[in-house]
A and B are shown apart, each in its own frame.
Chain A
Amino acid sequence: MNIIDRRPNPKGKSHTNRQRFIRVAKETIREAVKRSIKDRALGDVDSKEVVDIPMKRINEPRFHHSAQGGERDHVLPGNKEYVAGDALPKPRGGGGGGGGREGSPDGEGEDSFQFTLSREEYLDVLFEELELPDMAKTHLKETMGFRTTRAGFSATGAPNNLSLLRTMRKSFARRISLGRPKLAEMAAMDSAIAGLADRSDRSPEEEDNLIELRAERENKVRRLKRIAYIDPVDLRYNRFEPTPKPMAQAVMFCLMDVSGSMTEQMKDLAKRFFLLLHLFLSRKYEKIEVVFIRHTSEAREVDEETFFRSRETGGTVVSTALAEMQRVITERYPPEDWNIYAAQASDGDNFSSDRAACLRLLDQLLPLCQYFAYIEVLDEQAVDIFRDDNNASVLWRDYKTALESHANFAMKRVFSKADIFPVFHQLFAKGRKAA
């Protein structure tokens, strides 16, 4: 009998099957994920997701008998009081009395089953079919990552890198070239010697032969001792070398108007958008930095907490934020090394005196950016007014002019949580034309 311990075997043997299943049930899962993104609390936008999948979508049909209809007999155990000829009322819905479930492995009665997506799977579905426009700048100087790759074999190394195959091959070659006697040869010779030595009636030639054989054996034993089976010169080690690997890096600018006119609800919408963008970018880039810039009548780079939490009062001068962004870019993120993404959220207010300056700055910034998305967050009351493109906020009308001259600029309006994902989807859809 053999006992084999399979526990150390690699886990996740059915991972491929799981991926396949997700693909088959994709439609349902995608719907559920889209539904979930608007219902989720901010904190767990990227956690696991439980999906209900209707059985019908993923049915595996088989020909089998229906649970009802036709003449059928059931043999049942545990009779208590019945005698032959008794009549029992049929339960409503039928079938219940007999071994009804048998023969239908997937249970006709099962309506759906729940399925939990891992975080990775959830994000995969979420960002499927989305792509980053213009991921051109991947030639980057400083941030070179290193990856160990195989680089042949070497004669020195750590014991754990010993290449058994190579070592044995070397040893084999050396043993052949130096003529190390084989054990089988030795054994054959031994038995020949023993065969001769056992006999007492040896002829003179056989006597000579025996002496010769013994001498030869002596010789071979010496060789055997001198020529090792495995010699240190045979040892070969797997060699690994760190290879530099260019790492694409990106910086994401989050620009938000935090003036009094922005309500908590609007900021919440903006935050959801930023979060999605951040999640999305961090899947595409190994290294991503985020810069938060908020502005009222003046702009400041802040940390995340301040960005979303604290409130300020004051007027609205959008160009200050753009100027701040420009300053940060020149100081820390030279455009030739960094992929620059920017997302700006605002309710569309701007001082009228600032309009020209704002547009001029935007014109300077856009060529530096990979992509600049402007979303206008509006509350529910504004829905009716702004549905029509002719009724637009100051900023919207100004930015619209930039839309025509820059392909990497996009703008959308967001009214409610439910809009966030569709808008995001439109902004980053594959093969997107300049919106």
Chain B
Amino acid sequence: MGQHELLFQGAAWDFSTIQRTFAAIEDIAVNELGLDTYPNQIELISSEQMLDAYSSIGMPIFYNHWSFGKHFARDEKAYRKGYAGLAYEIVINSNPCISYIMEDNTMTMQALVMAHAAFGHNHFFKNNYLFKEWTDADGILDYLSFAKAYVARCEEKHGVPAVERILDAAHALMDQGVDRYSRRSRPRLADEKKRAEMRLAHRQETFNDLWRTLPQKKEAASLSDGEIDARRAALGLPEENLLYFIEKFSPRLKDWERELVRIVRNVAQYFYPQRQTKMMNEGCATYVHYRIMNRLYDRGQIGEGAILEFLSSHANVVFQPDFDDPRYSGINPYALGFEMMRDIERIVSAPTDEDRAVMPAIAGQGDVMGVLKNAWAEYRDDSFIAQYLSPHLMRKMRLFKLADRPDDPHYLVDSIHDERGYDGVRRALVRQYDPGFREPNIEVTDVDLSGDRRLVLTHRMSNGVPLSEDNAKASLNYIAELWGYAAHLNGIDADGTTRYHLEAGPTEAR
């Protein structure tokens, strides 16, 4: 046994136990693992509040919308009937980093959750390049409370249905409402809020009712070809961020409606890094809690019972059912993430000859945390797999690649975990995690400004995978609704042939 006393015994906890345990975890996380985190704030909530938090995508403050009510009803029912347990924790990428822990958890679980969320996720949020570039941890909570107030004000002024009309439509485009590549200046959420307030103030100051009485200008005469090209260049087409394009150029949206679209776009952008790094983020947090809990046990700070309880719950988290298991529902990001982190640890500290051949840069390098921290900072899911998925791990998880071709009545086992197959499996897994392939690539390609102002969107199909049709039609309707004129969507194959064409017009009643 080590030089320390047990931090707690049994399942019960109180605030001083939590405080004490947190200090011990922090000691290991900072001094032994060298993690670099935002300051922590632990918030204790009841299971009911956890359900509340679920329904508004985990954020403590969020504007009101019926869809959150729907999610709440569904989650609540699943929980009450026992179909689904609740997450042990929710962690928010903010500064300070807020972690919710539930009152029903045992003390061991609280320790696990603190190690996982308050140090694992927290370190990842603070250091990963995507989060650094795209999210603003200092501003997010202020921005959300601004968004909530703004939406509420709009509802008061224009009525709930008018606001919902915009939010419903904007929500449908959230996945296509992000910038994938850094081009425009990054959002500073605190400035966003100031900007919106200034705009409002300016409008109030300069308001002059007389303008309304001026005769409206007639539609501009039709433009020459050169002018159309110039206009298109000015619009920056093609544009992948549909919400951005609509916000900037929709001919029909009113100012407050534009601001609502902007709010939805900013929220989508804030969550985008989380979608791109889900596997790594969970892997990082799971690896961190695993190291910390074991270390607590080694130092004699938690007992046998606690470590067994921890291991059992840890095993559930990283459980990966085989593909033919009825429980299988895709690759468990916790499992893959954790295995990869452990595998890197193995390669760095005790490499085989194979590892030396495949990953010469890190094999036997010795500094496990150094290598891992670098990986956590510099990669996202797809690039991380491309760089670090070792043949050893592919064999261990027995990964294989199945090719599904539309005109073949059979699936083909294309490559498996052997010498010839490693590259194929790895490449396919990379694609599976690449947002460019996972999500449909839809761009604004044309706007017929001189004519009927219809918006033309192009879906560049990869490998001929179509869109889910009902969803696509409904989403296109929403686009037309926001744009104010007709919207067309063309599905273009890799060889340039048009595979399908959808049209939608705005509803007339405005």
**Which one of B15, B52, B413 lies within 8 Å of A83 (CB-CB)?**
B413
Given the interface pairs A75-B400, A97-B411, A98-B402, the reply to whether A4 lies near B56 with Cβ below 8 Å is: no
For the complex, would chain B's binding face be called helix, strand, loop or mixed by DSSP majority?
A: mixed
- Which residues from 150 to 200 on chain B have a C-beta closer than 8 Å to any C-beta of chain A? 160, 164, 168, 171-176
Given A16-B64, A87-B411, 8 further pairs, Cβ under 8 A: A24-B70, A60-B67, A64-B175, A65-B440, A69-B465, A73-B402, A78-B328, A98-B404
Q: Which residues of A contact B262 (CB under 8 A)?
A: none
Stretch of A110-118, A122-130, A231-239, A319-327 that contacts chain B: A110-118
Q: Is the CB of B325 within 8 A of A78?
A: yes
Give A287 to B19 CA distance when docked, in angstroms.
53
18 A-B pairs with C-beta separation under 8 A:
A2-B42, A4-B42, A6-B44, A14-B55, A17-B65, A17-B72, A20-B160, A25-B70, A61-B478, A63-B439, A64-B468, A65-B440, A65-B466, A66-B466, A71-B404, A74-B404, A90-B404, A99-B432
Given the interface pairs A70-B406, A77-B331, A77-B397, the reply to whether A17 lies near B174 with Cβ below 8 Å is: no
Q: Is the CB of A108 within 8 A of B468?
A: yes
Q: Which residues of A contact B160 (CB under 8 A)?
A: 20, 23
A-B complex: 4 closest residue pairs judged by Cβ atoms = A78-B322, A21-B69, A70-B465, A99-B330
Interface centre among A2, A11, A70, A77 (most CB of B within 10 A): A77
Q: Which residues of A contact B469 (CB under 8 A)?
A: 66
Q: Which residues of B contact A71 (CB under 8 A)?
A: 403-406, 463-465
- Please give the distance in Å from A310's CB to the nearest CB on chain B: 43
For the complex, would chain A's binding face be called helix, strand, loop or mixed by DSSP majority?
A: loop
- Please give the distance in Å from B20's CB to the nearest CB on chain A: 11
- Which residues from 73 to 102 on chain A have a C-beta closer than 8 Å to any C-beta of chain B? 73-80, 82-90, 97-99, 101-102
Q: Is the CB of A9 within 8 A of B49?
A: yes
Given the interface pairs A82-B416, A97-B323, the reply to whether A61 lies near B172 with Cβ below 8 Å is: yes
Is residue A334 contacting chain B, with contact meaning CB distance below 8 A?
no
Interface size (B, Cβ < 8 Å)? Answer: 102
Give A431 to B164 CA distance when docked, in angstroms.
29
Q: Which residues of B contact A116 (CB under 8 A)?
A: 73, 77
Give A117 to B116 CA distance when docked, in angstroms.
37
Is residue A104 contacting chain B, with contact meaning CB distance below 8 A?
yes
Question: Is the interface on chain A under 10, 10 to 19, 20 to 34, or 35 or more residues?
Answer: 35 or more
- Please give the distance in Å from B246's CB to the nearest CB on chain A: 14
Give A88 to B459 CA distance when docked, in angstroms.
31
Q: Could you give, for residues 346-373 of chain B, a 1 whenever the CB lies within 8 Å of some chain A CB and a 0 otherwise?
A: 0000000000000000000000000000
Give A110 to B163 CA distance when docked, in angstroms.
28
Q: Is the CB of A77 within 8 A of B322?
A: yes
Give A21 to B70 CA distance when docked, in angstroms.
6
Is residue A62 contacting chain B, with contact meaning CB distance below 8 A?
yes
Q: Which residues of B contact A226 (CB under 8 A)?
A: none
Q: Is the CB of B40 within 8 A of A77?
A: no
Is residue B84 contacting chain A, with contact meaning CB distance below 8 A?
no
Stretch of B210-218, B375-383, B420-428 that contacts chain A: B420-428
Give A101 to B330 CA distance when docked, in angstroms.
8
Give A84 to B175 CA distance when docked, in angstroms.
36
Give A1 to B122 CA distance when docked, in angstroms.
13
Q: Could you give, for residues 61-81 of chain B, a 1 whenever the CB lies within 8 Å of some chain A CB and a 0 otherwise?
A: 000111111101110010000
Q: Which residues of B contact A58 (CB under 8 A)?
A: 66, 70
**Which one of B40, B74, B428 lies within 8 Å of A1 (CB-CB)?**
B40
Give A1 to B400 CA distance when docked, in angstroms.
45
Is residue A433 contacting chain B, with contact meaning CB distance below 8 A?
no
Q: Is the CB of B172 within 8 A of A82?
A: no
Give A207 to B416 CA distance when docked, in angstroms.
96
